[in-house]
C-alpha cells in the first residue's frame, strides 16, 4: 500500500510540474528535462507513468474533466449549471486545470490531439440535456446535441476573454451571466425559475466533494 501511495504521489507531482511548464512555455517549447527538474523526479519515474510528452500533455488535459461526484440535484439542468460553474471555479484556483484548458486552446503543435476535452465536455452536456428533455425540463424545440455544442463553445470563448481581460478573476461572474442569458432559450420557465446560478455556488458545491483528485499544491488560495 505504501508503494502504491508513493506511485500515486509521484504521478501527481509530475502532472503538476508538467502543468506549470506547459502553462508557462506552451506545449511546443516545454521539455521533459524541465518538467523533471520541476517535479524532482527521475526520467524512469516519468516514463513509468507516461510514455511520451504527448501522453503527459493528455494527462494534464484530462484534469479539467475530473469534477468528482457533485451532489445530485432535483433537475438535470441544475446539474448542468453546476458542472459549468465548478469548472469556472477550478480554472481560477487550480494550476493543473488552467494548464489543461490552456493546452486545449493552444494553437500549433498539431501532433497533440486537443479535441479530447472538447468532445468529452460536449458529450457530458449532451447527456445531461437528453436526460433533462426526458424529464420535461427543456423547451420542445431544443436539440440536445446542438445545445451542448453551443454551451461548450460559449464557455470556451468566455473563459478565453476573461483570461485576456483580467486573468480570469471574474470568470464565475461571466459564466453565471452566460447561463442566465442562454438558459431561457433552453429551459421551461418553471424550471428556469428554480435554477440557482450564482457566483458562489461552485465554492459551496466543492466543499461537499470528497473524491476530486487535486494534486498537492494544486489548489491556490484567494
Q: What is the DSSP string of 93-146?
A: H-HHHHHHHHHHH----TTS-THHHHHHHHHHHHHHHHHHHHTT-B-TT--HHH
Q: Please tell me the distance from the alpha carbon of residue 213 to that of residue 63, in angstroms, as a whole number.
A: 9
Chain CA centroid to CA 40, Å: 26
> In the predicted model, what is the mean pLDDT of residues 174-199?
97
pLDDT tens, position by position, 23-64: 888 888 888 999 999 988 888 888 888 888 888 888 888 876
Categorize the per-residue pLDDT at 123 as very low, low, confident or very high, splitting at 50, 70 and 90. Answer: very high
Cβ contacts of 162 within 8 Å, gap of 6 or more: 168, 169, 170, 171, 174
Categorize the per-residue pLDDT at 104 as very low, low, confident or very high, splitting at 50, 70 and 90. Answer: confident
> In the predicted model, what is the mean pLDDT of residues 133-139?
97
Place of cell 470568470: 171
Q: What is the pLDDT of residue 139?
A: 97
At residue 214, does pLDDT exceed 60? no
DSSP letter, residue 221: -
> In the predicted model, what is the mean pLDDT of residues 198-215?
75
- How close are the terminal C-alpha atoms of the chain, in Å? 34
Amino acid at each position: 500500500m505504501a508503494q502504491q501511495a508513493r506511485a500515486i504521489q509521484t504521478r501527481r507531482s509530475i502532472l503538476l510540474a508538467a502543468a506549470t511548464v506547459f502553462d508557462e512555455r506552451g506545449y511546443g517549447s516545454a521539455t521533459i528535462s524541465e518538467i523533471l527538474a520541476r517535479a524532482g523526479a527521475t526520467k524512469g519515474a516519468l516514463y513509468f507513468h507516461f510514455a511520451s510528452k504527448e501522453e503527459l500533455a493528455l494527462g494534464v488535459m484530462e484534469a479539467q474533466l475530473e469534477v468528482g461526484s457533485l451532489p445530485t440535484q432535483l433537475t438535470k439542468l441544475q446539474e448542468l449549471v453546476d458542472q459549468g460553474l465548478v469548472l469556472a471555479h477550478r480554472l481560477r484556483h487550480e494550476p493543473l486545470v488552467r494548464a489543461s484548458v490552456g493546452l486545449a486552446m493552444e494553437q500549433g503543435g498539431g501532433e497533440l490531439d486537443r479535441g479530447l476535452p472538447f468532445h468529452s465536455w460536449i458529450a457530458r452536456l449532451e447527456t445531461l440535456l437528453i436526460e433533462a428533455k426526458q424529464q420535461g425540463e427543456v423547451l420542445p424545440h431544443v436539440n440536445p446535441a446542438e445545445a451542448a455544442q453551443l454551451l461548450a463553445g460559449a464557455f470556451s470563448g468566455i473563459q478565453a476573454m476573461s483570461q485576456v481581460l483580467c486573468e480570469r478573476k471574474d470568470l464565475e461572474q461571466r459564466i453565471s451571466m452566460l447561463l442566465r442569458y442562454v438558459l431561457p432559450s433552453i429551459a421551461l420557465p418553471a424550471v428556469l425559475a428554480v435554477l440557482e446560478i450564482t457566483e458562489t455556488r461552485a465554492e459551496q458545491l466543492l466543499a461537499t466533494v470528497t473524491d476530486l483528485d487535486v494534486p498537492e499544491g494544486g489548489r491556490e488560495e484567494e
